[in-house]
Chain A
Amino acid sequence: MPPLDAGVLDVRADLSNTLTQFNKEPSMNARSALRVFTGTKTLENQLDEFLDLLSESSILYRAGLTYYLDNGGSDNDAFQQKLKQVDQMESRADQLRRSIELSLYEQSLIPDLRADMLSLLEDLDFLINVFEENLYAYSVENPAFPKSLHPLMKQLTEQVALSVESLVMAARSFLRDVSAVRDHLHKVMLYEHEADQLALALKTQIFGSELKLEQKIHLRYFVDKVEGVSNEAEDVADWLAIYTIKRAA
């Protein structure tokens, strides 16, 4: 994956304005029963937007950590901006998730897959929460990664972001083209495996270095936190594989 262009990423700062507009939407409950197709379209858009948020937050997460490694955290405006954006996305994703879940239940939609759909939404939302939580942890605790570890850390972050990207693609396929879900799920597994290997290499280097033990443990903790995202993505992918079998029946 090519390095992220900070200029392009900054455009996403405008996202918060768009998100505010969506917040003003009337609830599905208020919609007329006759507007069935309009309601469906709105819900489709909400689901798409929710997945967009997850995808974008993974990109911003990767960009944020890249900025962090290059320039540090607390005084780094670029990093802080990414953190703020992910924070806003997390709030918006929560709102969307609640709204979608409410609509699914209120309108008794997809009765056979509703429970699966709700679990999937919860799991995906959890990933955005983890992104936000991780960035806050970096911002607050300021782990000091030696320069020699930066390339591996960046690779790890990239693999983690790719695993989440593939999961988002799989989730989109689950909604539209169930036959394509597998094509994306196996990539999640692959990226997760790569992330495992990189995390292991990182931890080996950390504990083989001359750093103080408390710093080693601190860095190990952050490596685990980053790698943990791909593990979560893999768990969600496992469940999605099962939902897909039900959906294809």
Chain B
Amino acid sequence: MDLTILIFLSSGLFLGWSLGANDAANIFGTAVGSRMVRFGTAALICSVFVVLGATISGAGAAHTLGELGSVNALAGSFMAALAAALTVFMMTKLGLPVSTSQAIVGAIIGWNLFSGHATDLSALTKILGTWVGAPILGAVFGALLYVLTKWVLSLTKLHLLRLDSYTRWGLLLAGAFGAYALGANNIANVMGVFVPSSPFTSFSVGDLLTMSSVQQLFLLGAIAIAVGVFTYSRKVMMTVGDGIMALTPVAAWVVVVSQSLVLFLFASAGLKAFLNGHGLPSLPLVPVSSSQAVVGAVIGIGLLQGGRAIRWALLGRISAGWVATPVMAAGICFISLFFLQNVFDQKVYETAEYQLSPPLIERIAKDGVDPARLQDLRGERFDSELALMRALAERTEMSYRQRFEIARLAKVEPADGGDHLIGAGPALTAGQDRLAAARTAAHPATP
């Protein structure tokens, strides 16, 4: 195995550890916080099911994150992952439940800004939408499930001790489901960056088990997550489980189920296909934040009970953490990339050239822009998407979206091709192919 890959892999593992210490902690936070499940039990089940989710169903939610930005150099990927990991680590130290997804999105935007790549605003909007949607959905699920559970309990008249026993098992099962969903949903954040350069090769054990190189990579990431759960998740668990609002065991179960459902809705390709197939609206497959879903569910139950028990000050700190996380990650990534590039002389992004070819100018003309205004850009080469977009903005009234589309197609493909994509699993391959084909069409004369 190439030593460089191993060194770069370390930041992914650090990010995995951070995810384990923070995001994964949320799943069993209420169970541990309400003292229904011991920390050791929670950590063990969480680890096992995160590993299973990551290796069996990983990469499902990677596509949208990949659309946001394609970190195309290994050193850049390393720094983006490191910046995200550092941000999550700092938030974990503060005991605040944040999201690895938020951190990695911030880091990608930081890389985009540094490398001159344009950020796909529609993908960003989709992701930001889930940051608002996930807690709201968590709150709605939490409130509805709580009412339903209380109603069922009032009918069944379970003995207090039996209810306690069932709740304990319910928490473990729902937590296992949540951990599986988290592994499936979030592993791409951790290891997706290394997919194109995976040092592993596929192997089979008879007809029983076949593990692709990607699955092995995800397994490694999942183990890092498990280590994070065991070593550093207790503090966040207590914040989620007891800090925002004291929860009864039944409410704790409702929270775990609600956040698992939210994660599952945003991670299940099968469910999306089913909903689309039946003409029903579906949610985008985006790596959402388990922290936000959990906090949303707790608030949902709290509001249902009148909101008096909610500690709003802590909630304010958590919300501030959610806003600060992507901003911090972007800032750390941008500054670190500068040092990595200029002090350590590392190639943090692949340089590329962008040119307005005649087919592209024709396409712009179809959008109602006078081609004469682009006359001086004909043949000119730009060293970044942002530079080309700025030039277009100076000469036309094209929207950001239109300029972004043109800039992506204007890239003159290098001979060797092949981007390293952060947050990208195998799901991105088809998208890459389509983009490359579109670029080829836009540059028919490009060698």
Contacts and interface: CB of A to CB of B under 8 A. Distances in A.
B154 interface: yes
Contact of B160 (A108, A175, A179): A175
A175 B159 contact: yes
B35 A47 contact: no
Interface residues of B, number: 18
Nearest to A103: B161
Contacts of B169: 36
A111 B249 contact: yes
Contacts of A109: 161, 164
Given A108-B35, A108-B38, A249-B305, A177 B160 contact: no
Nearest to A100: B161
Contact of A112 (B34, B154, B159, B161): B34
A247 B36 CA distance: 15
Given A177-B157, A179-B154, A249-B305, A112 B162 contact: no
A174 B160 contact: yes
Contact of B161 (A110, A111, A179, A247): A110
Contacts of B154: 179
B438 interface: no
B179 to A, nearest CB: 21
A40 B157 CA distance: 16
Given A110-B160, A111-B249, A40 B165 contact: yes
Contact of B159 (A108, A113, A176, A179): A176
A171 B124 CA distance: 57
B305 A110 contact: no
B153 to A, nearest CB: 9
Contacts of B159: 44, 175-176
B306 to A, nearest CB: 11
B142 to A, nearest CB: 15
Interface string B147-179: 000000010011111101100110000000000
B248 A40 contact: no
Chain A interface helix/strand/loop/mixed:
helix
Contacts of A176: 157-160
Contacts of A110: 160-161, 164, 249
Interface string A176-211: 110100000000000000000000000000000000
A152 interface: no
A47 B34 contact: no
A43 interface: yes
Interface-central residue, B165, B169, B249, B305, by most chain A CB under 10 Å: B165
Interface-central residue, B157, B160, B169, by most chain A CB under 10 Å: B160
Contacts of B248: 112, 249
B160 A247 contact: yes
A44 B161 contact: yes
A47 B164 CA distance: 15
Contacts of A175: 159-161
Contacts of A117: 160
Interface in A217-249: 247, 249
Contact of A40 (B38, B162, B249): B162
> What bracket does the count of chain A residues touching chain B fall in?
20 to 34
Contacts of A247: 160
A240 to B, nearest CB: 13
Interface in A152-186: 174-177, 179
Nearest to B251: A249
Contacts of B164: 40, 109-110
Interface in A87-113: 108-113
Nearest to A43: B161
Contacts of A108: 35-36, 38
A112 B250 CA distance: 10
Interface in A23-48: 36-37, 40, 43-44, 47
A201 B347 CA distance: 99
A105 B249 CA distance: 16
Nearest to B160: A175
A36 B170 CA distance: 13
A174 B34 CA distance: 21
B49 to A, nearest CB: 20
B161 A40 contact: yes
Contact of A37 (B35, B36, B165): B165
Contacts of B35: 108, 111-112
A236 to B, nearest CB: 17
Contacts of A44: 159, 161-162
Nearest to B167: A110
Contacts of A113: 160
A40 B159 CA distance: 10
A44 B163 CA distance: 11
A47 B161 contact: yes
Nearest to A48: B159
Contacts of B38: 108
Contacts of B158: 176
A43 B38 CA distance: 21
B160 A112 contact: no
Nearest to A174: B160
Interface string B27-47: 000000011101000000000
A44 B35 CA distance: 21
A44 B162 CA distance: 8
Interface-central residue, B162, B164, B248, by most chain A CB under 10 Å: B164
Given A36-B169, A109-B161, A175-B161, 10 more contacts: A40-B161, A44-B159, A47-B161, A108-B35, A108-B36, A110-B164, A110-B249, A111-B34, A111-B36, A175-B160
Interface of B: 34-36, 38, 154, 157-162, 164-165, 168-169, 248-249, 305
8 contacts: A36-B165, A36-B169, A40-B164, A44-B159, A44-B161, A110-B249, A112-B248, A176-B157
